[in-house]
Structure formats: C-alpha cells, structure tokens
Amino acid sequence: MQVLNIKRNFVGFILALICWGIYGCPSPLTNQCSDEIKKEVQSRNGKYIITLFERNCGATTDFSTIVNLRSKAGEFNGNKENNIFVMKGKYDVEIKWEDDTHLKISYPKDSEVFKQMGMWREIKISFFEK
C-alpha cells in the first residue's frame, strides 16, 4: 500500500513538471509578476533614486501602482523592503524631491492604499491626496 502511494505521488509530481514546462503553468517557486517603470527621479544630492512603477501579476489580480526608494548604488528590483508606497490599480501618482531628505508623493483621492512609509532611512516621506 505504501509503495502505491509513493508511485502515485511521483506520477503527480512528474505531471506537474510537464504542465509547468509545456503550458507555462505558474510555479509556486517563481514570480509571475511583471514590473513596468513609469518614472525615476534622482535625489538632488545624487544619493537616492525614487522609482514609480506598475506591477501586473496576471488576469486574476488587479494592477498595483508602487513607489520604490533605493540607494543610487543599488539596482531596481521592486522588492518589498524598498517599496514605500503601494496602492491598488493603475493611477497617476506624482513623485517629487522637496530636498535631499524630503520626498513628496501625491495620489488620487479615494484610492485603495495598502502601504505608506513615513520614513525610509533618513528620508522623510509626505503623502498628499489630490
């Protein structure tokens, strides 16, 4: 009986691999989202880069509009650690450096916001509904 269960599990595993390889079925081990950069702005002192991008994770989820803040030395990768603002949908979001340590983000009123970070390292972030 135990040998039959092992064979059944193995066959299921092989079928899943075939599905992922041939049909492009999403794997739980891979990220199926794509990020499209809309705008990047470097801080006045050149130390940081703010990136506005849209994330598309396929037909079953809505787009997300995301603002990412990173050191100039780092490459953009849309990771959650550097995402300082996340909202549901595709919207016109304005990003602006007020000075070397103050960032202003304006977004549409009544939008569904999932994340707003008021500070990132020494950068103070202000949010405004428009």
The tens digit of pLDDT for each residue in 91-126 reads 999 999 999 999 999 999 989 999 999 999 999 999
Do 25 and 47 lie in one domain? The reply is no
Count of domains forming the chain = 2
Burial class of residue 130 (count of CB atoms within 10 Å of its CB; 0-12, 13-18, 19+) = exposed
pLDDT band (50, 70, 90) for residue 18: low
CB 84 within 8 A of CB 68: yes
Q: Which strand ranges, in their side-by-side order, compose the sheet holding 113-116?
A: 34-42, 48-56, 64-71, 83-88, 113-116
User: For a pLDDT cut of 90, what percent of the chain falls above it?
Assistant: 62
End-to-end CA distance of the chain: 66
The whole-number average pLDDT for the span 36-57 is 96
Do 26 and 38 lie in one domain? The reply is no
Greatest mean pLDDT among 20-24, 58-62, 89-93 = 89-93
Do 24 and 38 lie in one domain? The reply is no
Query: What are the CA-CA distances from residue 123 to residues 15, 23, 31, 49, 85 (Å)?
Result: 50, 45, 29, 11, 14
Do 119 and 70 lie in one domain? The reply is yes
Range of the domain at 9: 1-30
Do 71 and 20 lie in one domain? The reply is no
In this prediction, residue 97 carries a pLDDT of: 97
Beta-bridged to residue 105, according to DSSP, are: 95, 127
Do 25 and 39 lie in one domain? The reply is no
